[in-house]
Amino acid sequence: MREKPRNGTVASYLVTRLEELGIEHLFNVPGSYCSGLLASLTGNSRLKAIFTTYEMEAAYAADAYARLRGYGAMCGTYGVGALSALNGVVGAFVERCPVVVINGGPSAKQLELEVDYGIMFLHSTGRLKTDLTIYSQVTAATAVIERAEEAPDKIDEVLIACMTHRRPVYIEISQELWGQSCPLPVGKLSASLTPVNTDALSECLDDTVARIAGAQRPVLWAGEELDRWQLHDEFAELLRVSGISYVTTLAGKSVLAETTKGFLGVYDGRFAPPDLQEFVEKADLVLALGTVITDFVGEIVAKDYDNMILASQGGIRIGHHVYPNVRIREFVVGLTRRLASHAAAPHPWGGTAFQRPGSALPSGDSLLTFDLLFARMSDFVSDKLVIADTGLSLFASAGLPILAQQGYVS
């Protein structure tokens, strides 16, 4: 006889899948809607509950965790908790950070009372599915689970979307379901990536190699998607083979250790040192890899649109020609192979890293200034993890030397 599948609970199913993603900490604010999930973590689970003071803090913690560990997760209580977390989740969506948002939902009885008698359930806004409606705008996938038998398929579908798109996802589970019986997970999850169009990839690489061969002043511009898709080694090999100097975006800072040969600095548009701005903006070919374009760098994109190659997970743009069916990993690996066999690799035209204004240490009797603070910090933070807050400290920290790969989080 075939052995019947062993059962767990809805909570244990979700926990097992989160652990499979390498998530070992669940940031949360305990509330009644998720109490069943949190109670399930008190046993032998590898997943540990990390309590925060409010849900936005949990969301930002999960975002940072995802940047450093691959994936992050948070949970809160319906309505007030989910809406408090929203700012952190929106930031993760914009910056391609895969965060699993877990929300406890109202029970079937609570929904029935509100629909039939107007009795609002705890944290209700008076409109049904408010949380789902809002989160559907800032996540790659959503699911509301109202029956235990739907849990495996819906949980797997949403987590696969998180793996595929490297963006936040939203799972809402009715509070009465956490302890209900549910089959244990079967098999391992994997990203659902469409097959690469080999003809499009070959044509894309032909065009790119030809442009690199014809460029006198090429520059590589590394962005945050290289980090999100774990392309550190592939990018390092491309640098070695091509010999092209590179800069990074601010969010992509330390995608490789900044002692890497060819690194010139952080190019963040008008905030970059003047000589670095001039260097990048005089390039006759800008090869942007995983670079998220914002208005900080909008001017160079508009000016060099025809001379820019922009590679992202969503496709490759070469000038005005778009290859939507070519992904960044295949592009970087394929380009490295092509250049490795290319007879005339481009000669690097860059020099040493450019210093930001104020990075030269002044004398000991100088007045304390913003520039002096960051100049003094350079020796102190080089071998530490640097977390830069938004605002003045973010832009000033772009010039700090980071000696470790992924040693900077912004």
Q: For residue 151, give its domain range.
A: 7-183
Identify whether residues 228 and 358 lie together within a single domain: yes
Identify whether residues 236 and 176 lie together within a single domain: no
Identify whether residues 237 and 346 lie together within a single domain: yes
- Domain boundary among the residues 183, 209, 243 is at 183
Identify whether residues 209 and 100 lie together within a single domain: no
Among 150, 197, 185, 169, smallest CA distance to 101 is for: 169
Name the burial class of residue 389, with classes exposed (0-12), middle (13-18) and buried (19+) by CB atoms within 10 angstroms of its CB.
exposed
The per-residue pLDDT for 1 is: 45
Identify whether residues 150 and 257 lie together within a single domain: no
Question: Would 249 be classed as within a structural domain?
Answer: yes
Please say whether the beta carbons of 396 and 245 come within 8 A.
Answer: no
Identify whether residues 351 and 211 lie together within a single domain: yes
Question: Would 189 be classed as within a structural domain?
Answer: no
Question: Would 211 be classed as within a structural domain?
Answer: yes
Please say whether the beta carbons of 10 and 177 come within 8 A.
Answer: yes
Question: Would 237 be classed as within a structural domain?
Answer: yes
Only one residue has tokens 């905030």, namely: 271
Identify whether residues 204 and 306 lie together within a single domain: yes
Tell me the CATH number at 159: 3.40.50.970
Per-residue pLDDT of the chain (410 residues; tens, 9 = 90+): 445 557 899 999 999 999 999 999 999 999 899 999 999 998 777 999 999 999 999 999 999 999 999 999 999 999 999 999 999 999 999 999 999 999 999 999 999 998 998 999 888 888 999 999 999 999 999 999 999 999 999 999 999 999 999 999 999 999 999 999 999 999 999 998 888 889 999 999 999 999 999 999 999 999 999 999 999 999 999 999 999 999 999 999 999 999 999 999 999 888 888 999 999 989 999 999 999 887 777 777 777 778 899 999 889 999 989 999 899 999 999 999 999 987 555 556 666 666 655 455 556 667 888 888 888 888 788 778 999 888 888 888 998 999 999 999 98
Question: Would 178 be classed as within a structural domain?
Answer: yes
Query: What is the distance between the alpha carbons of residues 359 and 273, in angstroms, rounded to a whole number?
Result: 11
Number of domains in the chain: 2
* pTM for the predicted model, two decimal places: 0.90
Tell me the CATH number at 278: 3.40.50.1220
Kindly report the number of other CB atoms within 10 A of residue 115's CB atom: 10
What Cα–Cα distance (Å) separates residue 367 from each residue in 28, 132, 256, 361, 377?
A: 44, 53, 34, 12, 16
Identify whether residues 130 and 242 lie together within a single domain: no
